[in-house]
Chains A and B, each alone.
Chain A
Amino acid sequence: MTDSKYFTTTKKGEIFELKAELNSDKKEKKKEAVKKVIASMTVGKDVSALFPDVVNCMQTDNLELKKLVYLYLMNYAKSQPDMAIMAVNTFVKDCEDPNPLIRALAVRTMGCIRVDKITEYLCEPLRKCLKDEDPYVRKTAAVCVAKLHDINAQLVEDQGFLDTLKDLISDSNPMVVANAVAALSEIAESHPSSNLLDLNPQSINKLLTALNECTEWGQIFILDCLANYMPKDDREAQSICERVTPRLSHANSAVVLSAVKVLMKFMEMLSKDLDYYGTLLKKLAPPLVTLLSAEPELQYVALRNINLIVQKRPEILKHEMKVFFVKYNDPIYVKLEKLDIMIRLASQANIAQVLAELKEYATEVDVDFVRKAVRAIGRCAIKVEQSAERCVSTLLDLIQTKVNYVVQEAIVVIKDIFRKYPNKYESVIATLCENLDSLDEPEARAAMIWIVGEYAERIDNADELLETFLEGFHDESTQVQLQLLTAIVKLFLKKPTETQALVQQVLSLATQDSDNPDLRDRGYIYWRLLSTDPVAAKEVVLAEKPLISEETDLIEPTLLDELICYIGTLASVYHKPPSAFVEGSRGIVHKSLPPRTGSSESAESPDAAPSGAPPSEQPAVIPTQGDLLGDLLNLDLGPPVSGPPVATSSVQMGAVDLLGGGLDSLMGSTSFTAPSTVVPASLGAPLSGGLGDLFDLAGGVGTLSGSYVVPKTVWLPAMKAKGLEISGTFSRQVGAISMDLLLTNKALQVMSDFAIQFNRNSFGLAPAAPLQIHAPLAPSQTVEISLPLNTVGSVMKMDPLNNLQVAVKNNIDVFYFSTLYPLHILFGEDGKMERQMFLATWKDIPNENEAQFQIRDCPLSADAVSSKLQGSNIFTVAKRNVEGQDMLYQSLKLTNGIWVLAELRIQPGSPSFTLSLKCRAPEVSQYVYQTYETILKN
């Protein structure tokens, strides 16, 4: 007598027979029939045709039958919305049942019926259940609010369920609290803007109390919620940590990891000198180690997180190397992760042990694992200098095994070792050359060619070796072709006499016979360099390369800090911020954006859209709110930004329409001019650096005399922009306004595909050309660029008037900042007014438009003032001496045609001036005054 009988079918047609049974008078037969229906449903058969018959069975005292019908309803109600209404009455009645189990069941099931019409009927019963005397019903109702919100968010808000839910956080029953938190977290995730989980010390205290008493799952929700709280000082952080630490001993690994997240985050706030800090560090290690004795799937997630923790705070696990040793029957995904962490923990103290292990792994069966083990040996060499020699000899041993894939991996890593320790291990080149023929993978071939080119002077037959590769040039992958081109040029520069034919052959292959633009461009650059200035060519191609460091595979600090906040989530498994991949939040943010108007779009920087497509149709690059939130989190987490006071303010949520369309098309045009993949990434740093410099020279601007230029200030700190730092200023020369930018890459990865866009602003400032950065920006490289601006962009009055909101995009993300520009960049060269005209205008402007300011501590004579101001297009119309005071009458004209008239009273011997400004648009006076101040005091 098992349930498998429900699967047997008859020839007559199953559905037909079930229908008859469902309508049978016998209760028992009915129940059996419903069971058969459910059984079919579980295996994915479509039994929706039986809907009316099953719903008819709903009115019953038999709880099992009721539950079964409910199960069916949840699955099929959506496909039969009209029929589902039939069930409403029973639900409403059940919500009044004296048995709390039935009340809860009814409200729970109703929430699962995802039919709009039903939700209306659900509101009243739900409201009652949220206030039910039985906590079991309340906790079920809390979840139901989340369900309802998923179906109809507006309804939930209108009915005030969110507030009721918030009240439940203070419920006396810990289970209800946990469920309320879980429901609120889920709702908050889809509505990042709504400030649902408004945490304050009181509510935190309630959560911490509930934490001790609720179920393990509830603890996870509460801990994840706690992690979003920002304690006001280190004492509060410590007291929360103290109350969370016991969770580290929980049997449920998800509870442990969520607790680790809270502790890792709040630890940031604790001083390292504190005794408690040390205690906490010690307490973190054992639970992390214990996670590794769990099931392999749990181990995997734990290892991905440990990888982050080890990068952030290596001291926690530095003595625990051995637990990461690989067992041969670990699943491959666990093996690879363990290996990665072993490298991160490798230090001088344990390197001998680690190397012995790695050598052991290199003889295992699994190819992927062996490859990674070989690579790991190379990484050890780079990380721990003392071990380099031993690593190299281990690698040579492995090359002797002649196992094809081992040899290839070994060569790839030896290339990196050469880069790290130049002129140390080149004696092994001979051994490497013996294996030339067995290399069939592009990466290994490219590495070998790089070695031959780099050390051409030490390899007698370098030209022959490279020539053999050249024969099949067109069949090679791009990576190998590029390497071959560079290697032969290097060879030519080192041994010009014998290799002229070879270099000509490769240049013509690269430039004439290839369709690959990267290859062609590089070929042309070399060609031109060699033909115009061989000395320069030598300096560029054979330039000394920066040493590589082990850090290349570390996660960059800003991202790491963000990921630490996401310990235990999918983000931590992928090592990407959630905004980069979680679909839900992105989609919903899109929806909440205000509609953009077409007119303002087309007026916005016409140069930016050369394709001519109407901007409104273009996909907009819109920041997800997650991004901004993530960045804000970062900010709070890290140490305070030091350095000069910054004139930026982060863009408010409301200003998301900052970037209409246009940015994408902008990208199109820049990426055409900027060859983004000039060099393969593995060898990227040295060459791209050189090229970058080259372009810098071309793009550099000599500073002509012109308006006063404010020194550059940091507009966008690297903390906020995933490692991109932007500082800059504005200048005006001979009528041309430009924005002079200094872009610094403080991240660990190469940045490329830059683009810039302004929000509408008071004077219609807009970029007159795309942001031209020709080469990708290598880590720790800085590029200076001058962006020409015009004033034909669309206009919107800003507050303050000279506020400019800017968006900068690169291959990593879009970043926003706002800055204040000095008004004098807008003062036109034609700003000198005729005397008569000046007098007439002065009289014409009503007196209430006059504004008076004091300029203090400015010990300049009237003539000096006059000439200084003239440099910035403030023209002196007349000068008079009245009662021993110098009176300067000045005029200036803004780009939008507004005239400003000024009277400057200078008392000889006194450093204070009085400035009277008259203008038809009095709101600019304030800013003109500021400009006077800046110009005169610098």
Chain B
Amino acid sequence: MIHSLFLINSSGDIFLEKHWKSVVSRSVCDYFFEAQERATEAENVPPVIPTPHHYLLSVYRHKIFFVAVIQTEVPPLFVIEFLHRVVDTFQDYFGVCSEVVIKDNVVVVYEVLEEMLDNGFPLATESNILKELIKPPTILRTVVNTITGSTNVGDQLPTGQLSVVPWRRTGVKYTNNEAYFDVIEEIDAIIDKSGSTITAEIQGVIDACVKLTGMPDLTLSFMNPRLLDDVSFHPCVRFKRWESERILSFIPPDGNFRLLSYHVSAQNLVAIPVYVKHNISFRDSSSLGRFEITVGPKQTMGKTVEGVMVTSQMPKGVLNMSLTPSQGMHTFDPVTKLLSWDVGKINPQKLPSLKGTMSLQAGASKPDENPTINLQFKIQQLAISGLKVNRLDMYGEKYKPFKGIKYMTKAGKFQVRT
């Protein structure tokens, strides 16, 4: 099971260590540093590193490496999932997860970690249970604690921990009862030179924010549940009901949680909401290259595409670029060779474009690789897969809650090859 945890910042300092069994010397991280040195970028550090006596499993998030040390055969996914859960918990507790925040709250962090694992076995990882055990710091509570001498450690056994619904605590009370659901879809796609789709898939999630009194039992039904053939549920969802009736039936956790994530694969036709027209040419003889891209809407179901951002990693041979955008701001960093163009909204009547020249290294042969264009965008009030919620009902409680559903489509890893 998980032996120890080290937190390492991007400059290679270990700024926190926690051991659940015997103490493992921090020199074990030297193997990690070696791997880190070999990898050109932090993202490329391999997640599983063997050392003579231990294995190091790491995740890299918020510019921090979370390195777990294990000694015996343990499912690595279990460790990595757990590490991600640790990061999520920190974020939940402190709003952001950064070295500064962790150092500022080191005692709480330590107490939380101790609650999450016992002898390397996960103990409590549900945020609402943890929060009952160790109360998250707030300014008010800190002040109160200082004056009254009370603590931020709960002294009662969390009620939810052993109930049939471990994710929900009892005795929840709200004056305004509300339940909001966000259907968010991300399109991952690779578009080739000629504009045809090589692969496209949709990763969708339904995130919920439920603030309801008591023990409400919710059902959520869809207009077109057939779209969902590849789904992962929050443990609260009753699987049998889904299998037989295609209805989500659940007692929700209190607060924010991810109800469901789903995947609409390449087999089904995935609509591509934007296109990119590009003309990037290097010539062998000249030290100037031409650069022109235009972004336009494609299948948007009549909605506006906004928050468009174009980034591209230019070849090493490009010294500088002189470009004029028809709208938005653009920057080119001659050191990292990263071009980024913040386009904003796409107006279908007047398509945004970015044109100009590239100055290339004189005398060098033309670059072998063509830059790939990375696209970000957002479309409000649209789930590109066509998924629609039919209705949300509540049983078990008497009051009438406010209900709301929002849809949004975003670009995930959306790449256009040139």
Contacts and interface: CB of A to CB of B under 8 A. Distances in A.
A298 B77 contact: yes
Contacts of B243: 246
B119 A111 contact: yes
A173 B162 contact: yes
A647 B48 CA distance: 44
24 contacts: A3-B104, A4-B106, A38-B106, A62-B151, A64-B151, A136-B157, A146-B119, A179-B121, A186-B72, A217-B122, A251-B234, A251-B258, A254-B75, A297-B47, A298-B84, A301-B80, A328-B415, A329-B374, A329-B415, A571-B73, A573-B76, A581-B50, A583-B52, A584-B71
Interface of B: 1, 14-23, 26, 39, 43-44, 46-48, 50, 52-53, 55, 57-60, 71-78, 80-84, 103-111, 114, 118-119, 121-122, 125-126, 139, 142-143, 146, 149, 151-157, 161-162, 164, 166, 188, 190, 198-199, 201, 203, 229-235, 239, 243, 258, 261, 263, 265-267, 313, 368-370, 372, 374, 413, 415, 417
Contacts of B82: 217
Contact of A570 (B20, B52, B55, B231): B55
Closest 7 CB pairs of A and B: A286-B230, A64-B151, A2-B104, A297-B47, A254-B77, A64-B153, A217-B122
A684 B198 CA distance: 39
Contacts of A290: 230, 232, 261, 263
Interface in A642-657: none
A140 B19 CA distance: 18
A120 to B, nearest CB: 19
Given A6-B106, A136-B161, A250-B233, A286 B368 contact: no
Interface in A865-924: none
A301 B47 contact: yes
A188 to B, nearest CB: 11
Contacts of B154: 63
Interface string A562-592: 0000001111011000100111110000000
Contacts of B155: 63, 99, 101
Contacts of A175: 161-162, 166
A38 B153 contact: no
Nearest to B75: A568
Contact of A583 (B71, B109, B139, B149): B71
A253 interface: yes
A254 B157 CA distance: 28
A495 interface: no
Interface string A172-209: 01010001001100100110000000000000000000
Interface string A325-338: 10111011100000
A328 B267 CA distance: 22
Q: Which of B39, B234, B263 has most chain A Cβ within 10 Å?
A: B263
A291 to B, nearest CB: 9
A47 to B, nearest CB: 13
A585 B369 CA distance: 49
Interface in A1-34: 1-4, 6-7, 27-28
Contacts of A62: 151
Interface in A124-158: 134-136, 140, 143-144, 146-147, 150
A216 B235 contact: yes
Given A101-B156, A251-B261, A585-B72, 18 more contacts: A38-B106, A43-B15, A63-B155, A140-B118, A215-B126, A217-B82, A220-B78, A250-B235, A251-B232, A251-B234, A254-B80, A287-B230, A290-B261, A293-B201, A364-B369, A569-B76, A570-B55, A584-B71
A249 B233 contact: yes
Nearest to B156: A101
A298 B57 CA distance: 11
Contacts of B53: 583
Contact of A319 (B60, B267, B372): B267
Contact of A44 (B14, B139, B231): B14
Nearest to B240: A246
A100 interface: yes
B18 A42 contact: yes
B179 to A, nearest CB: 20
Nearest to B263: A290
Nearest to A66: B153
A108 B104 CA distance: 28
A326 B162 CA distance: 44
B103 A3 contact: yes
A42 B154 CA distance: 22
Interface of A: 1-4, 6-7, 27-28, 35, 38-39, 42-44, 62-65, 67-68, 71, 74-75, 78, 99-101, 104, 108, 111-112, 114, 134-136, 140, 143-144, 146-147, 150, 173, 175, 179, 182-183, 186, 189-190, 213, 215-217, 220, 224, 246, 249-254, 256-258, 286-287, 289-290, 293, 295-298, 300-302, 319-320, 322-323, 325, 327-329, 331-333, 353, 357, 360, 363-365, 401, 403, 568-571, 573-574, 578, 581-585
Nearest to A223: B75
Nearest to A253: B77
B48 A570 contact: yes
Nearest to B164: A213
Given A570-B48, A570-B73, A322 B107 contact: no
Contacts of B18: 42
Contacts of B374: 329
A323 B231 CA distance: 16
A882 to B, nearest CB: 73
Nearest to B1: A186
B44 A143 contact: no
Contacts of A581: 50
B15 A64 contact: no
Given A28-B149, A100-B157, A217-B122, A323 B229 contact: no
Given A64-B153, A99-B157, A297 B80 contact: yes
Contacts of B104: 2-4
Contacts of B143: 1
Given A75-B23, A301-B76, A582-B73, A250 B232 contact: yes
Contact of A325 (B59, B199, B261, B265): B199
Contacts of B110: 38, 42, 71
Contacts of A114: 21-22
Given A186-B1, A189-B72, A322 B199 contact: yes
A293 B1 contact: no
Contacts of A111: 119
Contact of B78 (A254, A365, A401): A254
B22 A252 contact: no
A627 B46 CA distance: 28
A300 B48 CA distance: 9
B157 A289 contact: no
A143 B119 contact: yes
Contacts of A403: 368
B44 A333 contact: yes
A305 to B, nearest CB: 9
Contacts of B105: 2-3
A327 B111 contact: no
A624 to B, nearest CB: 13
Nearest to A571: B73
B144 to A, nearest CB: 11
